[in-house]
Homo-oligomer: A and B are copies of this chain.
């Protein structure tokens, strides 16, 4: 495997660091529209597929039975900052299901941004499982278990009906065969599967278009797509790529980050799904790659251009707010992606 350098980090006039990666852009028939690097490799898409993992919650009727609104549906697809809004919304989702924070099995996590940590500490509160970036997803899993009438105990287990159904949906959406041999444990303790990168992209092309899905599933993917693009703040929060990009693109783009430098995206107007992985797991590298993909694929309004540019050419400021460098796409990525 020798994926190309796609992103470089400069300091002054010199390139200081480099990020390699692979990109798969696939249509809803599974045709690879564009690729960089090895897109047949199995990758853990981690949190980038939370919107797929939320499909059973909608299909099962749990979301409707508990009257989850768009903000709550978006939170079920989120890797949120653990801001007050996010934690409260997760608490309400659990309340609607007759559950509490204690039923979660995602683990405790400090909020992502220091100002939110300071707020907690100043009020003598400790971070809890509601602040875990995955709390909305876990609340969704628990809601589904309750609606199915199965035990909520160890809902994160490989054999639990919730995880088994998620595995089915992932297999059907992308066409991968998933099992224990390709299974790892995610940061929030649920099973995560190494899936062929271009098959994950296919899943998002279907998510974007509904093509090839039965009506119930097509409805579920539409409900989740709309929820995320309508409530992008719930998907991540302040100063975050997913929130800002979905905010700027007003429904044209669904995009979701995953740990270890993964992104998935759905672009309905082109019918494309995108999955990319930064080899080394760096989020900054993956963000710049994703921004470059969006620029290359979509005609941009002035606002979209401006908002996207800030994420595609990330200015590096030092501790006295002096501009010292930039994280930016290499010339090659621009050429490659323009050649589409």
6 sample A-B contacts, Cβ–Cβ < 8 Å, listed by A number: A12-B183, A14-B44, A109-B319, A187-B319, A189-B318, A280-B282
Binds B, one of A16-24, A58-66, A139-147, A205-213: A16-24
CB distance from A186 to the nearest CB of B (A): 7
Cβ B132 vs Cβ A319 within 8 A: yes
Name the contact of A110 in the complex, choosing from B13, B107, B114 (C-beta under 8 A): B114
A18 to chain B: closest residue by CB: B279
Total identical chains: 2
Binds B, one of A25-33, A305-313, A320-328: A320-328
Name the contact of A108 in the complex, choosing from B183, B319, B324 (C-beta under 8 A): B319
Cβ B121 vs Cβ A185 within 8 A: no
Chain B residues near A324: list those with CB within 8 A: 184-187
Cβ B14 vs Cβ A182 within 8 A: yes
Q: How many angstroms from the CA of A81 to the CA of B192 in the assembled complex?
A: 34
A175 at the interface (CB under 8 A from B): no
A194 at the interface (CB under 8 A from B): yes
Q: How many angstroms from the CA of A122 to the CA of B122 in the assembled complex?
A: 7
A251 at the interface (CB under 8 A from B): no
Chain B residues near A161: list those with CB within 8 A: none
A285 at the interface (CB under 8 A from B): yes
A274 at the interface (CB under 8 A from B): no
A188 at the interface (CB under 8 A from B): yes
Q: How many angstroms from the CA of A105 to the CA of B122 in the assembled complex?
A: 29
Q: How many angstroms from the CA of A43 to the CA of B279 in the assembled complex?
A: 21
Task: Give the B-binding residues of A (Cβ under 8 A).
Answer: 1-2, 9, 11-14, 16-20, 42-44, 105-110, 114, 117-118, 121-122, 132, 181-189, 192, 194, 260-261, 279-282, 285, 318-322, 324-325
Chain B residues near A321: list those with CB within 8 A: 107
CB distance from A329 to the nearest CB of B (A): 15
Q: How many angstroms from the CA of A109 to the CA of B320 in the assembled complex?
A: 10
Chain B residues near A11: list those with CB within 8 A: 44, 184-185, 192
CB distance from A67 to the nearest CB of B (A): 29
Chain B residues near A279: list those with CB within 8 A: 17-18, 280
Q: How many angstroms from the CA of A20 to the CA of B188 in the assembled complex?
A: 28
Given A105-B320, A189-B318, are A184 and B325 neighbors across the interface (CB < 8 Å)? yes
Q: How many angstroms from the CA of A188 to the CA of B322 in the assembled complex?
A: 10
Chain B residues near A319: list those with CB within 8 A: 106-109, 132, 187-189
What are the 5 A-B residue pairs with the smallest beta carbon separation, nearest first? A107-B319, A12-B184, A11-B184, A17-B281, A280-B280
Chain B residues near A42: list those with CB within 8 A: 14
Cβ B318 vs Cβ A185 within 8 A: yes
Q: How many angstroms from the CA of A14 to the CA of B180 in the assembled complex?
A: 12
Chain B residues near A44: list those with CB within 8 A: 11, 14, 16
Cβ A187 vs Cβ B117 within 8 A: no
A181 to chain B: closest residue by CB: B13
Q: How many angstroms from the CA of A44 to the CA of B184 in the assembled complex?
A: 36
Name the contact of A281 in the complex, choosing from B20, B110, B282 (C-beta under 8 A): B282
Given A11-B44, A280-B282, are A318 and B187 neighbors across the interface (CB < 8 Å)? yes
Chain B residues near A185: list those with CB within 8 A: 11-12, 318, 322, 324
